[in-house]
Amino acid sequence: KRSIILLKNEKNILPLSFTGKKVALIGSFADSKDDMFDFWVAQGESKNAVSLREGLQNRFGKDATINFASGYAPDVTANETLITEAVTLAENADIILVNVGLSGKMAGEDRSLAFPEIPAPQVALLQAIKRTGKPVVVLVNSGRPLVLTGIQHLADAILQCWILGTETGNAVADVLSGAYNPSAKTVMTFPYAIGQIPIYYNSFNT
């Protein structure tokens, strides 16, 4: 939880109060244990992991109704049916949490990307959910800084959650509820656009 970075928080939407609320948790990664591990999995085992869905259910299940929709396929391909299901869920919710980003399998050595940005199907999902007019909290999974320019206007709050391992669900639940104040800093540069890369602290751009 000390690694989570608060990137945006319009109108102080965070921390959230879950008591008596209907929560829409959207995003295939939110229900995945395998995607919480990167290349350096070490002794971590997915069977011991707490997914985001489980973490929220464990902490708030007695006080709130938590419903889940994948929103996008596990391989992050476009699927209009999944988007429609997610929007329907969002329309009937008080709190909307959308988990986007990259699988932990895309983090680590020999995992370079030509386009380190939010996948297009996830952007389409956020655009559709934004049209509901309800506040949206975006939870970003990735092992590297991504270009977030395309989604920053689609979210009322953004938490950069990285790839947190076995305790992902519990850590994110602590931050969302305010039990822990997100205190991490951006020790790596987040590019505004792909064309900016490479960018680092002592690079002099002419």
Over the stretch 134-191, which tens digit does the pLDDT of each residue have?
999 999 999 999 999 999 999 999 999 999 999 999 999 999 999 999 999 988 889 9
Contact 36, 51 (CB under 8 A): yes
Cα–Cα distances in Å, from 199 out to 7, 29, 66, 113, 204? 19, 28, 40, 15, 9
pLDDT in tens, 62-111: 999 999 999 999 888 889 999 999 999 999 999 999 999 999 888 888 88
Cα–Cα distances in Å, from 47 out to 37, 143, 164? 12, 21, 15
- The token duo for 199 is 């960018």
Residue from 83, 84, 72 nearest 141 by CA: 72
Distance between CA atoms of residues 4 and 100, nearest Å: 15
Can you give the pTM of this predicted structure?
0.94
Cα angle vertex 14, ends 9, 18, to 5°? 150
Q: Can you list the alpha helix ranges (DSSP code H) found in 14-167?
A: 52-60, 80-91, 120-130
